[in-house]
Amino acid sequence: MNTLTELSKKIVEVEKQRDQYKSECDRLIEDMEILKANNERLMRRNRKLDGYVRMWDKLAKWKKEKLFIINQDETLHELSYTMNELELDMYKERE
């Protein structure tokens, strides 16, 4: 009789442990789903930012070429100054 009681207690203990493992597994799966969604969101944002960087680089190249050709245009110099200021601000934020 004592063996049955011990076995019954062991079964209850093992079932509790199983339930804990199942609960932990479910939490880990939920965490993975959240991380996957965050990763996808960041990848989309990164692609968008890459597009902005390409546009900025094209504008900077155009500005440099135009300044070389038309050195007396005040509007172009203002654009150049503003772009330089924006670039300085952008690099400050990265540090």
Q: How far apart are CA 95 and CA 90, in angstroms?
A: 9
Q: How far apart are CA 75 and CA 66, in angstroms?
A: 11
How many structural domains compose the chain? 1
Looking at residues 49-69, what average pLDDT do you find?
83
More confident residue, 3 or 93: 3
Q: Output the pLDDT for position 55.
A: 86
pLDDT at 41: 94
**What residue numbers bound the domain in which 33 lies?**
2-94
Structure confidence at residue 93 as a pLDDT band (50, 70, 90): low
Output the CA–CA distances (angstroms, integers) from residue 70 to 15, 44, 66, 92, in the order listed. Answer: 81, 39, 6, 30
Cα separation of 58 and 13, whole Å?
67
**Residue 32 pLDDT exceeds 90:** yes
